[in-house]
Structure 1
């Protein structure tokens, strides 16, 4: 089985990523909508359950130690301030807030299975699974783009503005715990958002409307509005979102967007967790229009690099409609080498997506 090369004889009726639901043997117009509704229900149940578990655990710790945790006030009332944002210098706060989003991914997959959109890997890529070799290929471009964003946002822009980074303020032991949580949980948080916005919503729209730009733009708008930033932060997130959606369509899967999203958030959370940004709490205000410069540079580097890799690897970006009763797209897996055709805090440091 190959990963990332185009088979000979690909037909003209092959489906692009956002149209994959149309390849279901028993496609009905209401199935994508029902999947979205069921996914919202499952996500609400899972997130509420996880939140309740955190409240019970932190309450038990407060009672056992006699010292209120960050989520409770001395009188035992819930600390609304602690729940209003992520404190990146608190392993518990990070675990709770990132976990509440990370649980979306299994909920979305379960929703697809529930309504009969199978295999559920249809939401992942045109190969109906994660294309691991392609995902690995995206790591270096994403790392370089993220590094460019961090250098521009954390060093160059503050220098122009007469500012500088602060000395680390988080105790080393606490920072190590936070870094562990960030490294382990953030990839799942980023992947969950990609499955929701670049996966589920994009494919729901694509099931009804052939025009790809509607499937790209509408989920991007919802993605931006899901973030609590000022206008410049929302524009920044929207720019990231529309680029991620375009890359998903262009490459036929979520892998590239997941890698970029995960590395971006990991880098920003680590910076925030250290205290070098002057605060460890994600803020609603941003650095204004200047932050868009870093995002434009980041997106341009990544898109151009990914496009070059896609062409060099002759990446499969479409799938044939399922045959009646088939559980996988036809054609992509049969290729052999002999048959190939000639594929934040929201300030000047960036925004958490």
Structure 2
């Protein structure tokens, strides 16, 4: 075990890193953040932030020397950086695990290798592969860049072969995947942790509602057939095992109207849809990440109360901050702000969790609060 008093290195300074740092500080750890942007959300609450590029050699050497273990808050870190750090310091998750989730084509091939089903898709690495990709799907579809796409970025809806060609060229002919739109019933996700011994622990399944490609609300417990929820947890565990993953991992699924369970994406980190765990579970996903990377026993993942997590984007800011009294007036709602200086449309600025005796009441209250914030 790596016990309190040790120093954990966090690569990345965003909100996931911030909430990790807070959990680590509660447990008595020191945290050193590596992040190129000054005054980052994670750096604000960490013991120290090294302001440098993720691949800066001198910064990496200092970072590795000062940390007892290193973890991450996002997946688009060059694998070579993690490989370099791992030569002297434990890095969890590994470069090998992250590399399979950084490219949608590689990720979908990996999902198939696990005996699981992704959304029907075709890979496009060159212009000559466009026709083959079109043959692999049915329209309507979505063309997505293979790398660096999240929250709806790098995605274009297409309905004809000509639109696929146009969209591919608009992406400057970078590697892409053409994904078939499915007859969707709902979207769910599983957040789990896996330790070095291969043991896994799942959090309750979350039902996710998206608006314009960005998560709006997570509803827990998910309103799906219990067999579907169990199947999703089993599938997520299989993925983590096949990756030989150490840390916290999220897997997003589509549930079709035919009750098919399709793997959408793998996120090798804590996840937006797991934020409910901070207020509604015995152990949060962020404390669980601390425990897992430090070889501590898992925390209890029991859900204590139904909950709805609602994202707060920069869209509702306007010239001033929203009227937060709308959240505080709801005694069973908990506000979390990320310390970002500039609000922009689509930028995640915070979230709030609304607890209730049942999911319907939580949805009603959370929706009312969000509408009031949007009007303020």
Shorter-chain TM-score above 0.5? no
TM-score after normalising by structure 2: 0.27
TM-score after normalising by structure 1: 0.28
Q: Which has the higher helix share?
A: 1
Rg comparison, structure with higher value: 1
The higher-RCO structure (CA 8 Å, 6+ apart) is: 1
